[in-house]
Structure 1
Amino acid sequence: MTGVFEGFATIGILIALGILLAHLKVIDANGQRTLSTLAFFVASPALLVTVLESSDVDEVFSGALLATAAAVVVTAAVFAVVAAVRHEPLGPSVVGTLCSAYVNAGNLGLPIAAYVLGDPALVAPVILMQLLLLQPLALVLLDADASSTRLSWRAVVARPLTNPITIGSFIGLVLAVTGARLPSAVHDPLELVGGMAVPSMLLAYGVSLRLGPLPGRGVSAGRLGFVVGLKMVVQPSVAYLVGRFALGLDTPALLAVTVLSALPTAQNVFIIASRYERAQLLARDAIFVSTLASVPVVMVITALVA
């Protein structure tokens, strides 16, 4: 359980620092946008290249990937169907789907995989599935929603190829599959720049908490509860059921996919929402509430499944 507390403590301290900096007027709304932009266009792509470069391809393309993907697809589909029935706009619907199904596999998933599950490589399927499938699709839809003109199919196909996060993910995966390694003169600067990604996301999130409405006051309780319920209950439940009954995963693998599916909404969902100016308050509040809720949820799952 130490890894769980350490992971959440790291997140909490950096968010609190962002709140303090905003309260002291060291960072204002313009500074928050700068941090978000830096994380989206520069730091996150660099981080993805260096993280995915050393990932184990065999671990990625395993039964755990299928269970994880099934949990994401089912959870995202539930939100998307409800949004369609309610005739909600595309942009907020995409952000809401990400809030419901996009887990914090980076700065929280890695320590939990290492200290609770015993193998940091277990988080690789989650990271790659989200970065190479879920996130590029969401970015294409958000680009389409933000465009003032109707996009042709060529433009839709080309959009992921011009998105910095997708480009970083693709380069990292190619390096992992081919076994190639970047020269130190390239890898080391990328690693330094990538080190800014998570702190920038968390600080920007903390600033937004201080400068914006308090969590729960900018989004209806029903909408927020629906999103967090999907994230904390539906997604890990589907991962467990598929992993156990459809794939027959052993106990360690089953515990891994269930725990990792129960992680809270990732901070980069807020960065994406801020970048496209769609449903920022929902993203912010979903991250906040799901992060608090995931502590007892992960503990219960660990106790029951293990």
Structure 2
Amino acid sequence: RTRRPRGGPSRPAPRDGALMGAVLAALGTMAAIAVVGWLLARSRALGPHAEQVLARAVFVIAAPSLLAVTIARADLALLLSRQALVIAATTLVVVAVAAAVLRGLWKRPVGEATIGTLAASYVNAGNLGIPIAVYLLGDAVAVVPTLLFQLLVLAPVAFTILDAQAERDPVREHAASGGQEPVADAADDVAAPARGRGLGRARRVLARTLRNPIIIGALTGVVLSVLPWDVPDVVLEPFRLIGAAAAPLALLTFGMSLAGLGRGADRDRSRPRELALVVVLRSVVHPLLAILLGRALGLEGVELLAVGTMAALPTAQNVLVYAVQYDRGRALARDAGLVTTLLALPVLLGIAALLS
């Protein structure tokens, strides 16, 4: 594979005006697609269950295909770089704070706390991160550590927790499994000894987790990446084409989720304190932590700007897809995605001004 050379000269940080253009272009594209989703939902052109169908299409086929191809072509050695260390360490701090407050202090249910933690830590590295990374470094290499950490660490842990909660809730398990029957009947647990019940539940959770399409896609990408030869493009091309639909479909789902605000069942709103926590962690705390730790580790110039920018990206729309899929924390995922996306431009321009 062609690897990006290391140790080259550091490029100067980009000018604010050029960065503004890149951010505006990316945000404008996202907004346009979300508006189309809003219009489709308002007109009911795709039927009453379109949001759930599109979310499931992203979750089951489009996102796994995108992840497999992206990771297969990534240089996993990037996980050992200083940039990757900054991203991993600061993201784990955000995860710990969000989980401690949502679950430990405010006693939110595990599923809702998990979605809230994802909303605070899982960033829009694909939709918005890739265009900005291309501008910063001339290619998408800056976004790879963030993508890999989210796909190989955050997503598997979150899905394991969400699958375990679905296992305890037969109704939501039935929805999360796409209408399939639960793996085992609850009567078996009642009849089995306590230890057997625990082992049986652990096996079922592990089986559900390993069948999770997102995790399958990420693991497939890792296997392809470590192979001693390159997988031919003709093999990956169908998955690349399907994966290209993940971002626009997720944005359409996001737009559809906004169409019902103030109407009927969608009058549910996120709790203000929870939304405030997620937004502050996502748009303020994480980028500041990344810049401070990056400086401490000797990053400077465009490398420091890159980690600060990646940490300041808004909440990924995939979080809403996961919330819809598991029927947990939909309002918080939706509102966090909206507010952090609106804040993305001033936050990114502030970082550019600070580090230029």
Task: Note if 1:237 corresponds to 2:288.
Answer: yes
Render the CA deviation track for 1:43-88: whole Å, top value 9, x for unaligned.
1111111111111223333111110011111111111111212221
8 Å CA contact 1:240–1:254 kept in 2: the answer is yes
Query: Post-superposition shift, 1:24?
Result: 2.0
Q: Of the candidates 314, 331, 334, which is equivalent to residue 281 of structure 1? A: 331
Query: Post-superposition shift, 1:7?
Result: 1.1
8 Å CA contact 2:87–2:307 kept in 1: the answer is yes
Aligned to 1:112: 132
8 Å CA contact 2:315–2:341 kept in 1: the answer is yes
Q: Secondary structure at the match of 1:249?
A: coil
8 Å CA contact 1:59–1:122 kept in 2: the answer is no
Task: Note if 1:221 corresponds to 2:288.
Answer: no
Q: Which letter maps to 1:116?
A: L
Task: Note if 1:133 corresponds to 2:153.
Answer: yes
**TM-score normalised by structure 2 residue count:** 0.81
Q: Of the candidates 19, 36, 41, which is equivalent to residue 38 of structure 2? A: 19
Render the CA deviation track for 1:127-157: whole Å, top value 9, x for unaligned.
0000000011000000111113666434444
Q: Of the candidates 238, 241, 248, which is equivalent to residue 189 of structure 1? A: 238
Task: Note if 1:146 corresponds to 2:162.
Answer: no
RMSD: 1.9
Query: Post-superposition shift, 1:194?
Result: 1.0
Q: Of the candidates 25, 29, 48, which is equivalent to residue 10 of structure 1? A: 29
8 Å CA contact 1:61–1:125 kept in 2: the answer is no
Render the CA deviation track for 1:213-265: whole Å, top value 9, x for unaligned.
489971222221111011011111111121111x2223221111111000000
Query: Post-superposition shift, 1:159?
Result: 3.8
Query: Post-superposition shift, 1:117?
Result: 4.3
Aligned to 1:59: 78
Task: Note if 1:265 corresponds to 2:315.
Answer: yes
Render the CA deviation track for 1:161-207: whole Å, top value 9, x for unaligned.
21111111111122223353333443121111111111111111111
Q: Which letter maps to 1:226?
A: L
Gaps of 5+ in 2: 1-18, 169-185, 187-197
Matches of 1:184 and 1:122, distance apart in 2? 23
**TM-score normalised by structure 1 residue count:** 0.94
Gaps of 5+ in 1: none
Q: Of the candidates 114, 121, 126, which is equivalent to residue 94 of structure 1? A: 114
Render the CA deviation track for 1:76-115: whole Å, top value 9, x for unaligned.
1111111212221100000000011111000110000011
Distance 1:63 1:219, change over 3 A: same
Percent identity among equivalent residues? Answer: 40
Q: Which letter maps to 1:301?
A: I
Matches of 1:124 and 1:117, distance apart in 2? 12
Aligned to 2:342: 292
Task: Note if 1:43 corresponds to 2:62.
Answer: yes
Of stretches 109-118 and 152-161 in structure 1, the one that deviates more from structure 2 is: 152-161
8 Å CA contact 2:86–2:293 kept in 1: the answer is yes
8 Å CA contact 2:151–2:218 kept in 1: the answer is yes
8 Å CA contact 1:3–1:116 kept in 2: the answer is no
Q: Secondary structure at the match of 2:127?
A: coil
8 Å CA contact 2:268–2:331 kept in 1: the answer is no
Aligned pair count?
A: 305
Q: Which letter maps to 2:44?
A: K
Q: Which letter maps to 2:125?
A: A
Matches of 1:135 and 1:278, distance apart in 2? 15
Query: Post-superposition shift, 1:120?
Result: 1.3
Q: Which letter maps to 1:181?
A: D
Query: Post-superposition shift, 1:293?
Result: 0.6
Q: Which letter maps to 1:279?
A: G
Q: Secondary structure at the match of 1:166?
A: helix
